[in-house]
Amino acid sequence: MKLISLIFGLFLFFKISWLHQNKPLEESIADGAGIYQDFCVQCHLDSGEGVSGVFPPLAASDYLLNNIDLSIKGIKYGLNGPIKVNGETYDGVMQNQGLEEEEIADVMNYILNSWNNSSEQVITLQRVSQIQE
């Protein structure tokens, strides 16, 4: 009996902490919008259009939409060296923006679902945590 309540208690604990970490997608996108304005808009601009040849676009970006894990990695640890975005080569430097893992999940959900971008994938805190340098 004790064992059962222990197992049940553990289950409840993990269930609650899971719920706590993963807010609904709409809320994550809304929080991500604020983070985007604070940390990303100066380079990738208001509509995610970027600046051709200097700051790659996020709107309709084949790099972002096809390389979600690499994009998370770039936001988490920084990104430099040549990459191709929609056929154009960029060879710039994006610093690590110093975001918390939850903020990275939120901003990813925002950019994956803005400016006509859409993604089946919901980015969770767990996914961001698992991505290593």
Name the site residues for ligand HEC (rule: CB under 6 A).
39-40, 42-44, 55-58, 61, 63-64, 71, 74-75, 79-81, 83, 85, 90-94, 97, 99, 107, 111
- State the nearest-atom distance from the C-beta of 13 to ligand HEC, in Å: 32
Residue with Cβ nearer ligand HEC (111 or 128): 111
- State the nearest-atom distance from the C-beta of 94 to ligand HEC, in Å: 3
Environment class of 64 (CB within 10 Å of its CB; exposed 0-12, middle 13-18, buried 19+) = buried
Residue with Cβ nearer ligand HEC (22 or 60): 60
> Which DSSP letter does residue 131 get?
-
Residue with Cβ nearer ligand HEC (75 or 125): 75
> How many Cα atoms are found within 13 Å in the side-chain-facing hemisphere of 82?
3
Residue with Cβ nearer ligand HEC (1 or 54): 54
Question: Which token pair is 19?
Answer: 């719920």
- d(CA 60, CA 40) in angstroms, rounded, equals 16
- d(CA 122, CA 113) in angstroms, rounded, equals 10
- State the nearest-atom distance from the C-beta of 83 to ligand HEC, in Å: 5
- State the nearest-atom distance from the C-beta of 11 to ligand HEC, in Å: 35
In one letter, which amino acid is 21? Q
